[in-house]
């Protein structure tokens, strides 16, 4: 990646190092397909005729509801938000799964949980069974959303770690796109296959991920934490294509051990340790992870992907399903420059610029939306264009970077617990937004009837994203996970850009640090090739 630390190694081993480390950890990003597809498919399913006849409420008001069935706000919010409720608890279970089973085996087990939920939804005879399936599938998604970024962060080469973890978000966007395309293809069917096909296809995603993970190595950092040093060396050897006795590989293992030993002096970690103040700033890091995931949801992006079809339909768009496909295409392809830019421009700057662009677009959508009618075709096209720009800004900044940040800012001893709390925060807010949105935007008794005015809320929260990033998120581009510990110990988020350059220029290692700051380390290999 241009702009990141340059790869200084020469010859076959340097090239093999890159290919092995990237390919293996990049595959784990496939877990994002489960996340994105399950999130995206429900938006179209709840608008399908057969699904409404099966799970909706009968009505004689055919003037308003031509099908004779409709979905009240209470039932709509329940159906959509229960997945997020399941994912919240699944994300919390990600910590014991990661620490006990390991990162790799935890992902495989998550696929099994997810498949049980998919089976229940596919064969659901009534709404209760469908909802239980949503919760169980959500638990599987929550586990995956904690374990995959953790596995990728611990196994990726540091010079491209951000891009690799961003691949998880890209997979999420691909899942969303696949969901909208398949929904669009089956929506006209007048039997259960209209919604059973989109749901049952998820078995394929789970099978591919579980099968693929059986061939990948376990996280070397988890193996070191478990005292299995020989297995850690072999796993790291597979990720780097270096022999286990290579000086560069041994130096990396020594750094991991040194960082872990320093943390273990404080005793076995608990959830309370995630909020302890101290020189390592654990409480700042935990709260930063929790809030960056919360702010990601508060950008309002899932309003588009959960309720986009319904929203566009109510806005007078003739084919809301096609508009949903178009917004998902924007989401997929605009994530690509984000994957490139995260190692070119860094995490902090992209978060700041992304929040600013989203804020402007959201307020413009709200202002234009309240001043034009649904019959104004030019105005509606302008709204769609602004929504697409907003989605593009999210996809290239806050979408992938929130996962990168939560995957890399925590020390090893509390990483699983702190990351599970962060991802649980994502799903808690995801649930809250998906549950509350029908009441906010729909008309009728008990609803706020905001409609397009809801974008005033999202614009305000995007401004909050900007303020939060400036004061709380440091620049971590090009640093190893152990060097990020030093960054937090010796700088603030505002001064982190300068201190990060010092760490890279001096090639500082945790194992060299005996006091306030490190001396220069005369390394055996390239800085850029370190995991």
What pLDDT score was predicted for residue 431?
85
409-439 pLDDT per residue, tens: 998 888 999 999 999 999 899 888 878 887 8
Q: Quote the CA–CA distance of 58 and 64 in Å, as a whole number.
A: 12
As a whole number of angstroms, the distance between CA 379 and CA 489 comes to: 51
Q: Which residues contact 246 (CB under 8 A, 6 or more apart)?
A: 237
In terms of DSSP H, where are the helices of 345-453? 347-371, 377-396, 398-408, 415-441
Quote the CA–CA distance of 412 and 177 in Å, as a whole number: 35
Q: Is 247 exposed, middle or buried (0-12, 13-18, 19+ CB in 10 A)?
A: exposed
d(CA 348, CA 291): 15
**Cα–Cα distance between 249 and 233 in angstroms, integer?**
8
CA separation for the pair 292, 472 (Å, rounded):
9
Is the distance from CB of 251 to CB of 524 less than 8 angstroms? yes
Closest Cα to residue 147, out of 195, 204, 216, 80?
216
Please tell me whether the overall predicted TM-score, pTM, comes out greater than 0.85 for this model.
no
Report the C-alpha gap between 522 and 531 in whole angstroms. Answer: 17
- What is the token pair recorded at 258? 């040194």
* Two tokens, residue 30: 């496939």
State how beta strands 57-58 and 69-70 pair. Answer: antiparallel
Whether residue 520 contacts residue 514, with contact meaning beta carbons closer than 8 Å, is answered with: no
Rounded alpha-carbon distances, angstroms, from residue 475 to 49, 161, 426, 486, 520: 49, 13, 21, 12, 21
Q: How many CB atoms lie within 10 A of CB 11?
A: 7
Domains and CATH numbers, the chain: 18-215+265-508 (1.20.1250.20)
pLDDT value, residue 517: 42
pLDDT attached to residue 382:
86
Q: Which two tokens stand for residue 513?
A: 């640090």
DSSP sequence for 173-198: HHHHHHHHHHHHHHTT--STHHHHHH
The DSSP 8-state label assigned to residue 268 in this structure reads: S
CA angle 269, 275, 281 (to 5 degrees): 95
Helices assigned H by DSSP within 28-125: 31-45, 49-55, 73-96, 103-122
Question: What SS3 class is residue 12?
Answer: helix
The residues of the chain scoring below 70 in pLDDT are: 1-18, 20-21, 266-268, 305-321, 510-531
Report the number of secondary-structure helices (H) and strands (E) in the chain.
22, 2
- What distances in angstroms separate CA 157 from CA 1, 35, 57, one per listed residue? 12, 25, 53
State which H helix or E strand residue 345 sits in.
Answer: none
CB atoms within 10 A of CB 128: 10
Single out the residue of 504, 508, 358, 484 nearest to residue 3, CA to CA.
504
Sign of CA pseudo-dihedral 242, 244, 246, 251: positive
The Cα–Cα gap between 495 and 18 comes to: 31
Asked if 322 and 299 touch (Cβ cutoff 8 Å), the reply is: no
3-state secondary structure of 277: coil
Q: What is the pLDDT of residue 25?
A: 83
Q: CB within 8 A of 198, min separation 6: which ones?
A: 41, 44, 45, 179, 182, 183, 186
Find out whether 223 and 234 touch, Cβ atoms under 8 Å.
no
Is residue 306 within 8 A of residue 437, CB to CB? The reply is yes
Spell out a b/e string for 96-107, using b for 16 or more CB atoms within 10 Å of the CB, else e: ebbbebbbbbbb
Cβ 503 vs Cβ 486: under 8 Å: yes
**Owner of token pair 């209470």:** 74
């Amino acid at each position: 990646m241009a702009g990141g630390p340059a790869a200084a190694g020469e010859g076959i081993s340097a090239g093999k190092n890159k290919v092995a480390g990237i390919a293996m950890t990049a595959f784990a990003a496939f877990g994002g397909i489960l996340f994105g597809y399950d999130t995206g498919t429900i938006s179209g399913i709840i608008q399908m005729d057969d699904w409404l006849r099966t799970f909706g409420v009968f009505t004689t008001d055919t003037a308003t509801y031509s099908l004779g069935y409709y979905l009240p706000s209470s039932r709509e919010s329940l159906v959509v938000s229960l997945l997020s409720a399941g994912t919240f608890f699944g994300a919390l279970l990600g910590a014991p799964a990661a620490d006990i089973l390991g990162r790799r085996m935890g992902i495989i087990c998550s696929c099994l949980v997810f498949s049980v939920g998919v089976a229940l939804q596919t064969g659901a005879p009534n709404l209760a069974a469908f909802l239980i399936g949503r919760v169980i599938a959500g638990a599987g998604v929550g586990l995956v959303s904690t374990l995959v970024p953790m596995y990728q962060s611990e196994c990726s080469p540091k010079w491209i770690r951000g891009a690799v973890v961003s691949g998880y978000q890209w997979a999420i966007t691909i899942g969303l796109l696949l969901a909208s395309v398949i929904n669009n293809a089956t929506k006209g069917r007048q039997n259960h296959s209209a919604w059973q096909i989109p749901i049952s296809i998820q078995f394929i995603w789970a099978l591919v991920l579980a099968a693929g993970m059986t061939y990948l190595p376990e996280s070397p950092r988890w193996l070191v934490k478990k005292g299995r040093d020989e297995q850690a060396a072999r796993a790291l050897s597979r990720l780097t294509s270096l022999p286990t006795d290579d000086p560069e590989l041994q130096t990396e293992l020594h750094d991991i051990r040194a960082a872990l030993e320093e943390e273990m002096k404080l005793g076995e970690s608990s959830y309370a340790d995630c909020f302890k103040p101290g020189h390592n700033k654990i409480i700042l890091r935990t709260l930063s992870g929790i809030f960056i995931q919360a702010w990601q949801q508060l950008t309002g992006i899932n309003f588009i992907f959960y309720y986009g079809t319904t929203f566009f339909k109510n806005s007078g768009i003739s084919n809301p399903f096609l508009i949903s496909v178009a917004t998902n295409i924007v989401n997929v392809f605009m994530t690509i420059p984000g994957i490139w830019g995260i190692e070119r421009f860094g995490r902090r700057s992209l978060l700041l610029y992304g929040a600013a662009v989203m804020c402007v677009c959201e307020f413009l959508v709200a202002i234009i939306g309240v001043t034009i009618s649904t019959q104004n075709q030019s105005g509606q096209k302008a709204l769609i264009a602004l929504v697409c720009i907003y989605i593009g800004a999210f996809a290239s900044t806050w979408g992938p970077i929130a996962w990168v940040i939560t995957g890399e800012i925590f020390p090893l001893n509390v990483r699983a617990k702190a990351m599970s709390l962060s991802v649980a925060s994502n799903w808690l807010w995801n649930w809250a937004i998906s549950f509350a949105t029908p009441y906010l935007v729909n008309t009728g008794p008990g609803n706020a009837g905001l409609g397009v005015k809801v974008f005033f809320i999202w614009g305000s929260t995007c401004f909050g994203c900007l303020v939060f990033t400036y004061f709380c998120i440091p620049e971590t581009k090009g640093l190893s996970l152990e060097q990020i510990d030093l960054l937090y110990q010796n700088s603030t988020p505002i001064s982190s850009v300068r201190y990060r350059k010092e760490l890279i220029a001096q090639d500082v290692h945790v194992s060299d640090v005996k006091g306030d700051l490190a001396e220069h380390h005369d390394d055996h290999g390239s800085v850029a090739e370190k995991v």
